[in-house]
Amino acid sequence: MLQMKSCAFALLAFPLAAQTLAPRSVPARQIPVPTDVSPALQKVIARPAEPGSAPTPKTTEEWKKSLAGPNAEEAKNAERLARELHVAVKPGTIGGVAVFYVTPEVVPPQNKGRLLMHVHGGGYVAFAGMAATSEAILLASHTGIAVVSVDYRMPPDAPFPAAVDDAAAVWKSLIQTHNPRGMALFGTSAGGGLTLATTLKLKELKLPLPGALMAGTPWADLTQTGDTEFTNQYLDNTLVQYQGGLAADARLYAGSHNLKEPLLSPVYGDLSGFPPTILVTGTRDLFLSDTVRVHQKLLQAGVDAQLIVLEGQSHAQYLDNSIPESRAALDEVAQFLDRHLDR
């Protein structure tokens, strides 16, 4: 107790602004695989973290070449998911923007008038075409609601604000034929950030807002600011670290713009008036802090906001349908949307 009092006295005697904010050094240590999660998730957590070793692309051609492999692999994953979950995926165009219509085999009567609009992840630079649809397929299956997945333009050909403009254009077109209160906007990672940024843009345009949002582990701050972007380095076996690939993606997407502009980093925007929002992250997620910061801002703005933090999970691992905890989390998202969307 005396030690706590002396510590408190020291803080009073030396105001924070006058202190040297030195980084904390911690001893090297091993972090065990948690035993309070399913065996399937334990196997995923035990995978080694593999930071990218390839040099950052410097030209448009190098960027496109570096993205070709991941796009092809994710497209195959989407095609497999669609077959397994009995979800139809068809390309189309809405408001001049490429989209995919993602429709579950069975749409319950109460969902006939509902619609979900999806903006995909991939660091704002990856997963074009069919590769954009994996999350949309999962949510279509878990919710029993049809989805429009936006295949928005991306750098190096189309940096910011192309993605936000495309998402807003699709929304503006959809609300001509659908009740906005019966529609939700959702996405994960960059898609989570874009979900929030698009909602800010819709507010700016004075357009009706969705009935609900799902912002999964949103990349809501393109600067390396959140605490877990340091503390969870090498614990997150999806993103692994911020420096390197993520930092390069952010700079390519932002172009000449300041990374703290709210339509790039929506955590710095005015989130008042936002629809009910559910956020999902994990204890090992590099973007856990981004998600928590958004949740706090939503609550402070009086928004109905729910936060799901999954034990042991790295970035966006709730999209792995083979993990029981992930399936349960997506069911919670489905229940949240069902509660808030008009029928």
Q: Provide the CA 198 distance to its chain's centre, in angstroms.
A: 13
Structure tokens at 244: 């390197």
273's torsion region: left (phi>0), alpha (psi -120 to 50) or beta?
left
Contact partners, residue 237, CB within 8 Å, separation at least 6? 44, 45, 47, 48, 49, 50, 284, 314
Structure tokens at 143: 């919710």
Q: Which residues pair with 308 in a beta bridge?
A: 280
- pTM of the entire structure? 0.93
DSSP code of 55?
P
325's torsion region: left (phi>0), alpha (psi -120 to 50) or beta?
alpha
Q: What is the largest CA-CA distance in the chain?
A: 69
Q: Taking a C-beta distance cutoff of 8 angstroms, is the pair 294, 218 a contact?
A: yes
**According to DSSP H, which parts of the chain are helical?**
2-13, 39-45, 60-85, 134-143, 162-174, 190-204, 228-231, 245-254, 288-300, 324-340
Contact partners, residue 150, CB within 8 Å, separation at least 6? 97, 98, 99, 117, 118, 119, 120, 132, 166, 167, 170
DSSP code of 312?
T
- Give residue 53's pLDDT: 65
Secondary structure element (H or E) that encloses residue 343, with its range = none
Q: ∠ at Cα 76 (70, 80), nearest 5°?
A: 145
- Which CATH architecture describes the domain 76-340? 3-Layer(aba) Sandwich (3.40)
How far, in Å, CA of 149 to CA of 169, rounded?
13
Q: Among positive and negative, which fits the CA dihedral 100, 106, 111, 112?
A: positive
Q: What is the mean pLDDT of each run of 10 residues along the chain (343 residues)?
A: 46 56 88 96 91 81 93 96 98 98 96 97 96 98 98 97 98 98 98 98 98 98 96 95 93 96 98 98 98 98 98 97 96 98 94
Q: Taking a C-beta distance cutoff of 8 angstroms, is the pair 161, 131 a contact?
A: no
- Give residue 194's pLDDT: 98
Count of all residues that appear for the chain in the document = 343
- Give residue 2's pLDDT: 43
Secondary structure element (H or E) that encloses residue 280, with its range = strand 277-282
Query: What is the per-residue DSSP string for 66-79?
Result: HHHHHHHHHHHHHH
Domain boundaries in the chain? 76-340
